[in-house]
Amino acid sequence: MDKDELLKQAKDRFSFMQRNKIEKAIDFASVKHNGQLRASGEPYITHPLSVASILIDWQVDLDSVIAAILHDTLEDTDTTLQEIEDNFGKDIAFLIDGVTKVSAARKGMREIKSYLPKTRDNLSKFLIAIGKDSRVLVIKLADRLHNLRTLKYLSPEKQHKIADESLEVFARLADRLGMGRVRVEIEEISFSYLEPKRYSYLKKLTKKRVAKAYARLYKVKDEVSDILKEQKIKHQIDGRIKSIYSLHRKLTKYDEDINEVYDLMAIRVIVGSKSSCYKTLGIIHNLYQPIIHKIKDYIATPKTNGYQSLHTTVKTSDDQIIEFQIRTKQMHDFAENGMAASFHYNEQKQSKNYFKRRSVSALPEHLDWTSQLKQTAKLVQEGTPIEDIKVDLFGDRIFIYSPDGDIYDLPEGSFPLDFAYAVHSDIGDSSKTFIVNGKIARFDHQLNSGDVVEVKTSQSNHPKSDWLKYVKTAKARNKIKTKLKTKSV
């Protein structure tokens, strides 16, 4: 990627004045990185320009693209933060500083699977950087993606280390952000370096199976498309082949029996509205025999990363088993690009101030967890022991509803007390009983995604030491400990 190629790509996305700002950033970074080379032997500037190109493809905002062009100048050149602020403004300087802090903090990791720096200062910087503005994470993902794409130029030892971290951390983080397309590419590249023989075997197996099934799948696509046209439902329909890494995980689950993998190939139908999604589902069920236990409504109940779609698996008249995924264009964009799509749709809605507030408050509910990292950073700064800090950047999450319909994002395994403290500290402190889905629940009841929880309080109730056994979140744990200390003084 060079300057002319990037500016040509930017032409379809940004105005003349915006492209001038991009060009200014390219010229600045080119001078700063002059003489530096990548492991491939190419000029170093090709890396930040490639990262910017990835972000343009994801349709992010101008500041993120410029920050990507400049993202290595603080760490790898003599550039100062003040110099960036003087030339490109506070917002871009903030993003670059955040990306740099995430990189610096990672160097103090305890272990890959925790992805948490071991020093208080580094942990605090890490959480603050990604908690203040989620675009820092998106830029970091684009940076890692390009590094993976050029992994062949590194030594086998470095290839394995980067691939391992990418699979354990960045792929899961992409999934947490709802960025399905990015997750799949990170998984595929990483897996090909970590287990090359297994990857090659599964790739050949997939190709062989798909070749056999393609003609029959094409017939089914035509049948469905013809009916949708008759019903005047505007649609796009295409096939989706399961990724190699996803197939690997599924085969491991099913004792290597590929005949148990019904979604090796799936048909994806994109329609114009939510109601058309359900109408299309009914049409498909009239055409073919649905396998009842495989019908999944992720529109009414989205996945915890915000993914929405209808899934159904059917058996055709010739006993072929096929999965269908039905969604709207906007749902598809979110399924592919997640948080990046959130930026794009916010921008389309003219929420121009969002990109200047350095806040994630304008994000959808399922992505608002990033703002909670600031609260965790505050606990670190206040002296809470690192071992008591529970930061779940990419673990499973559940959505819990209040009786009024408000949504609360909690880690999997949370208890009613976690919900109570998420609503308000005073409610947590005075919790007496809980009603989950209309039934009284005990303190040790583990919540499930979609539960409706009501907290009954009493002014005479106060936290007790055994409450610590029935909380999962750091917020609830630390609020209880604080109250217990106050009580004992």
Q: What 3-state DSSP class applies to 430?
A: coil
Q: Is 76 a catalytic residue?
A: yes
Phi, psi of 351 (to 5 degrees): -85, 60
Q: Angle of helix 81-88 relative to helix 90-106, nearest 10 degrees?
A: 150
Question: Between β-strands 321-328 and 265-271, what pairing exists: parallel, antiparallel or unpaired?
Answer: parallel
What's the DSSP call for residue 254? T
Q: Is 429 a catalytic residue?
A: no
Encoded tokens for 433: 């009983």
- 75, 86, 238, 365: the catalytic one is 75
Q: What 3-state DSSP class applies to 249?
A: helix
Q: What is the DSSP secondary-structure string of 294-359?
A: G-EETTTS--TT----EEEEEE-TT--EEEEEEEEHHHHHHHHHHHHHHHHHHHHTT-TTHHHHT-
In whole angstroms, give the CA distance from residue 295 to residue 442.
32
Phi, psi of 456 (to 5 degrees): -95, 125
Distances in Å between the alpha carbon of 424 and those of 367, 457, 473? Answer: 20, 12, 13
- Sequence-distant contacts of 127-130: CB under 8 A, at least 24 apart: 127/373, 127/374, 127/376, 127/377, 127/380, 127/391, 128/101, 128/373, 128/374, 128/377, 129/97, 129/98, 129/99, 129/101, 129/102, 129/105, 130/98, 130/102, 130/370, 130/373
Cβ contacts of 345 within 8 Å, gap of 6 or more: 330, 333
- 2, 76, 297, 336: the catalytic one is 76
List active site positions. Answer: 75-76
